[in-house]
Amino acid sequence: MEKRLIAALSVSLGAALLVIAFLVGRMTRTSSGPTVQSPVVIEHETQREPTPLPVRPAEQPGLTVPDMHPPLPPEVPSVREPQTPAHEPQVQSETRPAPHEPGPKSAIVSYFEKMDAIHVEGSGDPAAFAQGILAGIERGDMSGIDSLVANGKIALAQAAAMQPPLPCAEYHRRLIDALSEAAAEMAKIREAIKTSDVNAITAIAPQLQTTQQKINDLDQMKKQLLGQ
């Protein structure tokens, strides 16, 4: 299955939100205090259609200028020159194609191909992904959360090392910001789970939802840059 950076990151954040919702509900039910309803609300937003790019009107065909033939110069008597050792063949002028240089469009495509090659933990259904992490937590296995934290840091480092083309500069800046937030939030989740701090776990949920919205906006921005 294709590992797209934005899609995989979105799955990871969705799974993290589901993990938080489950853990908060379980911790509050087993606590001696009154039951606290989990404030986490998972909404599946309908992907907005990207704003269509303005279509330039077709250019008007240029006017054809009739060929003008200047008068021939007066005939000049030819002067014989010594014959050269070897007759050089006449070189016909021909138009050679210029070396291919990547244009703005190809540079954008190449940039996103490199970004999509960055591996981020998470694929498929966020609920199924979250279920696997929770099953590990129930057994005292934190490897699922640890993997999210490690992959988030690796993705951030790889993305920060790339130089985006000029049209993608703003997208790249926002992406680095979102990846930084996601990596920090995953680390907070891991620490809160290890310490069974229900208040800390609950506080992370709004932060994850904000990061998730940034990821959704980046996906729309990517489609516009690619002209999809």
Task: Please count the residues of the chain.
Answer: 228
Residue 67 lies in a domain: no
Residue 212 lies in a domain: yes
pTM above 0.75, yes or no: no
Residue 55 lies in a domain: no
Q: Count of domains in the chain?
A: 1
Alpha carbon distance 41, 185 (integer Å): 17
pLDDT score at 67: 47
Say which amino acid occupies 53: L
Band (pLDDT 50/70/90 cuts) for residue 116 is: confident
Residue 50 lies in a domain: no
Range of the domain at 186: 1-38+104-228
Q: Structure tokens of 1? A: 């299955």
Residue 61 lies in a domain: no
Tens of pLDDT, residue by residue over 65-86, are: 444 445 555 554 554 555 555 5
